[in-house]
């Protein structure tokens, strides 16, 4: 929230909330694209996990699309392609990409928990939790505060900052 702006706990139409929902929508667009790459490289039982994550992110993306409209905004469209953070030639790299996608989503959903109105906080907290759990499954280890520590350590921007919209 910006200094000097007043918002009540039940205000679901604030500009900060719309910005955070748009950022979450953009992150889900990127995750859907990224899981397409992951699914193409992953094998065996992990492929089912990738498919479940892909389906889950598509559902969240669609729900966020509706949420932006409900807040009076115009939903951001998906980019035609996204820049991957590293080459993904095999299953091991695909698992690393999946973990990276989930870490980035956790950061965006942490912003939405902070900026969202009361009605949206529970949804954002659930999405953050799901992203953290998926990240641990893909990586094999976790962090104490998903979505917060990674951003501070890596200097990652928040979901509402002006990061490249075509970067995963």
Task: Write out pLDDT tens, residues 42-68.
Answer: 998 899 999 999 999 999 999 999 999
Report the predicted TM-score, pTM, of the whole model to 2 decimal places.
Answer: 0.78
Does pLDDT of 151 surpass 70?
Answer: no
Q: What is the CA 141 to chain-centroid distance, rounded?
A: 19
- Contact present, 84 and 97 (Cβ < 8 Å): yes
Does pLDDT of 150 surpass 90?
Answer: no
pLDDT tens by residue, 123-137 = 999 999 999 999 999
Q: Which two tokens stand for residue 10?
A: 């039940």
Burial category of 69 from C-beta neighbours within 10 Å (exposed 0-12, middle 13-18, buried 19 and up): exposed
């Amino acid at each position: 929230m910006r200094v000097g702006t007043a918002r009540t706990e039940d205000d679901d139409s604030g500009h900060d909330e719309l910005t955070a929902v748009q950022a979450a929508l953009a992150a889900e667009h990127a995750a859907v694209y990224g899981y397409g790459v992951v699914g193409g490289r992953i094998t065996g039982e992990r492929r089912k996990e990738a498919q479940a994550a892909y389906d889950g992110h598509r559902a969240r993306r669609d729900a966020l699309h509706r949420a932006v409209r409900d807040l009076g905004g115009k939903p951001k469209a998906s980019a035609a392609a996204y820049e991957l953070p590293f080459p993904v030639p095999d299953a091991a790299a695909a698992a690393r990409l999946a973990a990276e996608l989930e870490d980035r989503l956790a950061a965006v959903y942490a912003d939405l928990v902070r900026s969202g109105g009361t009605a949206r906080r529970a949804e954002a907290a659930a999405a953050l939790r799901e992203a953290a759990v998926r990240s641990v499954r893909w990586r094999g280890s976790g962090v104490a505060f998903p979505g917060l520590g990674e951003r501070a350590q890596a200097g990652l921007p928040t979901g509402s900052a002006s990061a490249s919209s075509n970067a995963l």
